[in-house]
Structure 1
């Protein structure tokens, strides 16, 4: 009986000592979580730092290829309208138009036009006593319209010599009161009968075959 009681006391003491040791280990430190090989690597959160973008995330301007670069525009060439100078060879009108003070040697080139208007009673020779322009070069087949301004009294359009131009009686009303279509090359000098002495003269050069100055 005494031996059996002694063994029970020893077992009880050993069991108490083991329980006390386990309790001390549990109170001393918290166990660290075990990370298994299959768990993903934890990432830090709330650090307040932004990740640096990689080269592929950075916006860069690409260098344009030759196909993308616009080629310089060609400078357009300007084409001048064709035309033969009326002064080469020069029509023989200078002597006839010398008394008209609105004639300065200029011959208006109206070629390539089907018709042209000449003013009657424009300012010249001390008043509204001129044809304007006084000298005009037209193509064969062109029509010249004489338009009265209504100033300077009554006027006429008459050829020198046996020329074809004849507007009839003197006219004072404004408007196109006379026209003529030229069908032969040459020079057609004309005047205003009431004001010829003042220098109211004009010339029409037609086509390419006409008298020229020396």
Structure 2
């Protein structure tokens, strides 16, 4: 049996395509880490990054790296202490409860849209974050409703990164 050069090249091309597809799948399944941080004196607390763009089905893990504080990651959702709805209507709400230093909490995001979350004891200090899953709708939804901002402290509202910035950069760190 003779093997033509084009058959070998074709087989090699197929292998390269298969390897690149499997690497893409791994990246889609990577866990995104968001660190809960703060100054040693407790004067400032924050999520890092404060904004991320992920794919539907991707997992986010929050880890408390702040040795002096407990933190939560809590969806803006009426089920969580009557907070306004600032996640997609079909999305599942979450609340990590208090995480001590070095503890973590994970959540998988399946619904496309914009998800805002907070740290319960530090919302008033602007410890909030935003996750975008897939491609959010350009107009409409909770972001244009005044009610979505009712009861949210001004420091928190000022801290959220813009959707456009997250879409452009994919990751937005606290300045």
TM normalised by structure 2 equals 0.50
Q: Name the SS of the counterpart of 1:184 in structure 2.
A: coil
Query: Take 1:152 and 1:145, find their aligned partners in 2: how far apart are those partners?
Result: 20
* Number of equivalent positions: 101
Give the Cα–Cα distance (whole angstroms) in 2 for the partners of residues 191 and 130 of structure 1. 10
Give 3-state SS (helix, strand or coil) of 1:196's partner: helix
- Aligned equivalent of 1:118: 34
Deviation at 1:122, TM superposition (A): 4.2
198-207 or 156-165, which moves further after superposition? 156-165
| Structure 2 CA distance for aligned equivalents of residues 202 and 149 of structure 1 | 16
- Give structure 1 regions of 4+ aligned residues with deviation exceeding 4 angstroms: 211-214
- Matched with 1:72 is none
How far apart are residue 172 of structure 1 and its match?
Answer: 2.0
1:186–1:211 CA contact under 8 A, matched in 2: no
User: Does the CA contact (< 8 Å) of 1:143 and 1:180 recur in 2?
Assistant: yes
1:205 pairs with 2:121: no
* 1:174 CA displacement: 1.2
Instruction: Assess if the C-alpha contact under 8 Å between 1:128 and 1:152 holds in 2.
Output: no
What is residue 121 of structure 2 aligned with on the other side? 194
The 1:182–1:146 alpha-carbon spacing in structure 2 relative to 1, beyond 3 Å, is same
Contact 1:148–1:174 (8 Å) recurs in 2: yes
Deviation at 1:202, TM superposition (A): 0.4
The corresponding residue for 2:82 is none
Deviations 1:124-183 (A, max 9, x none): xx7451000000000001000001103341111111124512102x222313x2000001
The structure where helix makes up a greater share of residues is 2
State the alpha-carbon separation in 2 of the partners of residues 135 and 113 from structure 1. 18
Task: Tell me which residue corresponds to 1:148.
Answer: 64
SS in structure 2 opposite 1:197? helix
Counterparts of 1:18-167 in structure 2, within 5 Å, are 112=28, 114-123=30-39, 127-162=43-78, 163=87, 164-167=93-96
> How far did 1:121 drift?
2.1
Secondary structure in 1 aligned to 2:66? coil
The answer on whether the counterparts of 1:128 and 1:151 sit within 8 Å (CA) in structure 2 is: no
Name the structure, 1 or 2, with higher relative contact order (CA <8 Å, separation 6+). Answer: 2
